[in-house]
Amino acid sequence: MKKIVTIVGARPQFIKVAPVSRVLRQSFQEVLVHTGQHYDHKMAGVFFEQLNIPQPDYNLGVGSANHGAQTGEMIIKIEEVLLKEEPDAVLVYGDTNSTLAAAIAASKLHIPIFHIEAGLRSFNRVMPEEINRVLTDHVSSLLFAPTEVAVKNLATEGTSSGVHNVGDVMYDAVIYNAKIAQENHKIEDFGINEEFILATIHRAENTDDPERLKAIFMSLNKLSKKVILPLHPRTEKKLKEQGIFDLVENSTTIKIIEPAPYLEMLFLESNASAIVTDSGGVQKEAYFAKVPCFTLRDQTEWVETVNVGWNTLVNPIKDDLKELVDSYEEKPYVEGLYGDGKASEKIVEYIKNFL
DSSP secondary structure of 258-294 = PPPPHHHHHHHHHH-SEEEE--HHHHHHHHHHT--EE
Say which of 34, 115, 202, 232 is annotated catalytic: 202
The DSSP call for residue 124 is: -
- Residue 309's Cβ-side half-sphere holds a number of Cα atoms within 13 Å equal to 7
User: Angle 256-262-264 (CA atoms, 0-180°, nearest 5)?
Assistant: 55
Q: How far is 301 from 295, CA to CA, in rounded Å? A: 11
Query: Which residues are within 8 A (CB) of 95 and not within 5 positions of it... i.e. 6 or more apart?
Result: 117, 120, 129, 130, 132, 133, 136
Q: How far is 329 from 339, CA to CA, in rounded Å? A: 26
Q: Hey, how many other C-beta atoms are within 10 angstroms of the C-beta on 153?
A: 23
Contact call for residues 145 and 167 (beta carbons, < 8 A): no
Q: How far is 129 from 281, CA to CA, in rounded Å? A: 13
The DSSP call for residue 202 is: -
Query: Which residues are within 8 A (CB) of 21 and not within 5 positions of it... i.e. 6 or more apart?
Result: 6, 30, 32, 53, 54
The SS3 assignment for 66 reads coil
User: Is 202 one of the catalytic residues?
Assistant: yes
Least Cα distance to 203 among 269, 299, 103 occurs for: 299
Length of the chain: 355
Q: Which residues are catalytic?
A: 202
